[in-house]
Amino acid sequence: MVTKAVKLNISKCKVVSFGRHADKVHKYNFIDNDLVTPIERVETIKDLGILMDKKLSFKEHILS
Query: Does residue 1 have a pLDDT over 80?
Result: no
What does the alpha-carbon distance between residue 29 and residue 34 come to, in Å, rounded to a whole number?
11
Give residues with Cβ within 8 angstroms of 10, minimum separation 6.
30, 37, 39
- The confidence score (pLDDT) of residue 38 equals 94
Beta strands at 14-15 and 29-32: parallel, antiparallel or unpaired:
unpaired
Instruction: Give the three-class secondary structure for 45.
Output: strand
pLDDT in tens, 4-26: 878 888 888 999 888 778 888 89
Mean residue pLDDT across the chain: 86
H helices of 1-64, where? 59-63
